[in-house]
Amino acid sequence: MPLSLDTLADTPRLLLEADLQPIQGTRFQPTGFPDLGAAEYPAPDGNGRMLLVESAQSMANRLEAVCWDDASEDWVAPLQGLPYVRVSNANGELLTTSVLEAHRLNSPYILEGKDTTVLNMLKEELAGMEQGRVDIRKLAETLVRVDTNAALHGVFLAKKELAGGRLRLPRALSAFIEAEDVQVAPSGGVKVDTVDPSGDTSKGFGNVPYARDEFVAPRITAYFNLDLAQIRAFRLGEAAERLLVALALFKVQRFLEAGLRLRTACDLECQALRVTRPEGFDVPALTDLEAALPGLIEAVGQEGLLNDPRITEVTYRK
């Protein structure tokens, strides 16, 4: 089916909600934080407890992970041809990429090594912003050309050589997962030492019992927010806008199909996906997005908006 995005032409946000449930049983394990554990908090109406199952930061990484093929060390097939930065070690082996790095293009493996290919390119492309307002359109144009995905993920280029460290682009696609009316499902276990049960546990010997809290909830919801107004503000043209929107929808649909095993004890499945804004928009099926994306990538490339070659090679040496 042809990809139809016309309904989104005049709306500032695309808001999606997906109903999730454990793929087996009823219990699930949420994300945890140092010195906090599970992020549990009162419901807005005061009735019941809410739980953050997956944070916005973690979801940004998960939406990237489903786009990457670890076996081929490249994009999954529908996304091949999108630009990114590939970092090798001194032996020519893959070390990391701008798709996988926590800070994307601001990775120290890209900007802090002896190979200054990307740093010099960014300094040249983004020159003249040391004083005055940052030109967000120019920043977005550069990101699309060098690492298209970063225009959706957002980036903070903290190097003082780059506009004094003021180059920030907010996320255009954000997401999180919440559970409602949660209850703790306590459990536990023991690390068994059949050789010396009373051994020194500080050195890894002996039997070690432990407690563990999982949760149950009548409703688990994934929320997705695509900032269409921000994408249009880049003023990159219709082809690039369609590519960014299609890429964002691909990430959402592929995550819901293949990325919901969040942890060993948190394996979920999607029951339904719905659009809450705007009315009348139907999210394209994953197969339709997979079919459309290669042509969209080629169209943007023909307009000269993508790097040639598409992959920027960097060798990391301290």
Q: Angle CA(99)–CA(72)–CA(63) in degrees, nearest 5?
A: 35
List, for residues 180-199, the tens digit of each pLDDT value.
999 999 888 888 989 988 88
Share of the chain above pLDDT 90, in %: 70
In a domain, 203, yes or no: no
In a domain, 175, yes or no: yes
The bridge status of strand 219-227 relative to strand 173-180 is antiparallel
Report whether pLDDT(117) > 90.
yes
pLDDT given for residue 1 in this prediction: 60
In a domain, 199, yes or no: no
In a domain, 1, yes or no: no
Closest listed residue to residue 67, CA positions, set 55, 49, 79: 79
pLDDT given for residue 316 in this prediction: 93
pLDDT given for residue 187 in this prediction: 84
In a domain, 257, yes or no: yes
Q: Lowest mean pLDDT: which of 130-134, 163-167, 214-218, 254-258? A: 130-134
Distance CA 107, CA 101 (A): 6
In a domain, 202, yes or no: no
Contact criterion met (CB below 8 Å) for 310 and 298: no
List, for residues 240-290, the tens digit of each pLDDT value.
999 999 999 999 999 999 999 999 999 999 999 999 999 989 999 999 999
In a domain, 141, yes or no: yes
pLDDT tier, 294 (very low <50, low <70, confident <90, very high otherwise): very high
Distance of CA 250 to the CA centre of its chain: 12
Report whether pLDDT(210) > 90.
no
Range of the domain at 266: 6-182+217-315
In a domain, 171, yes or no: yes
Average pLDDT score over the chain: 92
Domain count of the chain?
A: 1
